[in-house]
Structure 1
């Protein structure tokens, strides 16, 4: 009896380490699927077709593609328009990264979402439960799945530089290339009528009573720090940092008062890249002559 139990536990551990321990995904016949699951078969088929389509990729074919849970600003909560990983996988948790290869699809998430992911992911997906013994990291799994010479695609706008460098180094050591793609493959297959519209709401000034300092003072303090390190300019992509520095708030991101934008700060001007329709006269007056608003269709 003890031997049987040990073998059963061992087999469960192996399935978990391979991502194969899945609810209602029997290898031996059909089992009714949980009601919350989205059938991703057609989405994955369309996605994989793009992975070998050089006219879409504008580069050579790729053998794997990574989809993170982030937007271009590394926000914790993201607009429905940005939920690419949720669309391709059906998993709606706030944290989880997905990989699609030409024959497999896998998702990694932490202990907050192990049960939810198992409920929502259909049987096309492997589920890697982070924090469990023997579960491989994404980079290790890719190294095991792909031969040397393979190419892994990724949208560089939705990962931090640190994450990019770490993944690039890990894969390169095994002869696998991390490729920056100028096109988001999920965007290509996501029908416009099924995709939530991008949230675009009017920005407003955060009053000095609450901000403590006017924005020009903050900008000069940042410039002072730039001089100390010998820099002439900086790019700001984090929305909370932009909100703090410019004393501007918005309603573009769920649960956070942020305006979707970018800032380039040099020693003379503040260049705010933003959907200019979101800036009313009060906000423009607040920014004054020390800033330049750059209309951007990408934000």
Structure 2
């Protein structure tokens, strides 16, 4: 069924339901970024496959909102669909509410599934629509599901225990910390719906979601008990033993009734209004609620020494795979046929050489020439370019290992770079170095450092629109809050143990993209009391063929040479032959 036909079928559902517009967010009942295919309703109805976006369909019009990372991709995927692209952040782009107010008469009803909209968003949207004479209504059955006859089932993959040698802390210890935070807030129950929080708390992992080792579940933590709600067919004897007496396991679909029981209790229930769905809040009713962010968010983000040690080991392993792949690429480019898609296969093969590799941490972004300018590009048969011995190529990828998650971007010189390409690359590199090397006082918020990454570009009248860095989980989600070098979490301070990406870039539409990304972690700066600093985790050469050395300061050159010496020392003994020669050549001092 083509997108136009899907939208037409959805409009029939609107008419029969007495609704004039229907909102289709990207989310699922667990407020996930990457979601199971069964709940990818926005992608189904719009044809847009990016991870961030929101569609809205009226009886006569349809639009999709997404941010700058996906503008080019969305334009391509929405072409001919009858759904108009609304570019968030650009002048003249209406907000969802403005668009609805201009397309609907007063008194119209806007429907939404209460399981895929957070309570906080619901309250805000309800008021904004009401102020414009529109009504937000909750539907009992998702209208997109009614036009999706072959909707996939949820995964039945078994849960896996996450060994304490990797996790670094027992379930009992984590529960004790959570209960301590609950006690300080006067909470007698804590409701969890975010999958990575549940996986972290119970030292479990799963395979229900692409790229993220999580499993579909809910949890409730009480003063003296803990409860996990999951499809019982996925629970193995090992999982039962690992949870032991600490956790009671229930059917996934029993969660709603237990919530209603909490609504009748006299105690306070802690549930985050920015991540929990309106459906969860509806089950809890008007019981005494604490709606602050879960304490697990920060506990999970601040990796322990053991976890950082594991992340370090994972990055050595990943660095070996990257060096083998890039060496092979350098040797064969222009000599054998290769495409963006074939390079994905080759890169995956390199990572699979490790017995500890558990799969990619996100869909790889291999963008040659103009495709590299699409920030979150994903090659498909229709777009995959043949790679030639000229131009630039962005390779953004990552892996999942039981001791850590990786995310790395390298921009590759495929031939002889132009003077402009070298200047642009070097200015991006200068920003990358500035972030990596600048100490910052305790209490610094991530977005405050973003100017460091952009200064060299701004001096040349250049810029990029995506965030400079995101938090990264420990064998969990590659995007993890609240650590950030972007405005998404403007009030959260950087804390020791947080792992973030450092990934400035520059993009020329239709020509090329440039991005340099390492993962770093926050640690105490022993030379500067009251300060923190970043330490690199990623170990892989930066392509010096693209550097205009005349634009670098002495300190920047020293940084590159010291970083490459570290890469050489960490990886050199683990590769042989041509690969080792390539590594030594690519890490020579500049």
Give the equivalent residue in structure 2 for 1:261: 217
Quote the residue 1:228 is aligned against. Answer: 184
Which residue of the partner structure matches residue 48 of structure 1?
11
Shift of 1:131: 2.0
CA distance in 2, matches of 1:140, 1:196: 34
CA shift digits 1:101-140 (9 cap, x unpaired): 1111111111121122121112411111112211111111
**1:174 CA displacement:** 1.4
User: SS in structure 1 opposite 2:187?
Assistant: coil
Q: Does 1:105 align with 2:62?
A: yes
- From 92, 101, 125, give the equivalent of 2:83: 125
Higher RCO (C-alpha under 8 Å, 6+ residues apart): 1
Q: State the 4+ residue runs in structure 1 displaced beyond 3 angstroms.
A: none
TM-score by length of 2: 0.42
1:238 maps to which residue? 194
Q: 1:297 Cα shift?
A: 4.6
Is 80-89 or 160-169 further displaced after alignment? 160-169
What SS does the corresponding residue of 1:171 show, helix, strand or coil? helix
Is 1:295 equivalent to 2:295 in the alignment? no
* TM-fit CA distance, 1:268: 2.2
- Residue correspondence of structure 1 range 1-299 to structure 2 within 5 A: 39-54=2-17, 61-121=18-78, 122-192=80-150, 195-297=151-253
- 1:175 and 1:151 map into 2 onto residues whose CA distance is 10
Pairwise CA RMSD = 1.7
Q: Which runs of 5+ in 1 are unaligned?
A: 1-37, 55-60
Cα separation, 1, equivalents of 2:72 and 2:254: 36
TM superposition score normalised by structure 1: 0.80
Post-superposition CA distance 1:227-260 (Å, at most 9, x none): 1111110110011111111111111111111111
Q: Count how many residue pairs are aligned between Structure 1 and Structure 2.
A: 254
Question: What SS class does the counterpart of residue 62 from structure 1 fall into?
Answer: coil
Q: Give the Cα–Cα distance (whole angstroms) in 2 for the partners of residues 120 and 239 of structure 1.
A: 29
Report SS of the residue matched to 1:157. Answer: coil
How far apart, CA to CA, are the structure 2 residues paired with 1:217 and 1:298?
Answer: 27
Query: Structure 1 pair 185/298, CA: closer, same or farther in 2 (3 Å)?
Result: farther
Gaps of 5+ in 2: 256-590
Q: Which has the larger radius of gyration?
A: 2
Q: Evaluate the alpha carbon distance shift between residue 109 and residue 298 of structure 1 in structure 2; reply closer, same or farther with a 3 A threshold.
A: farther
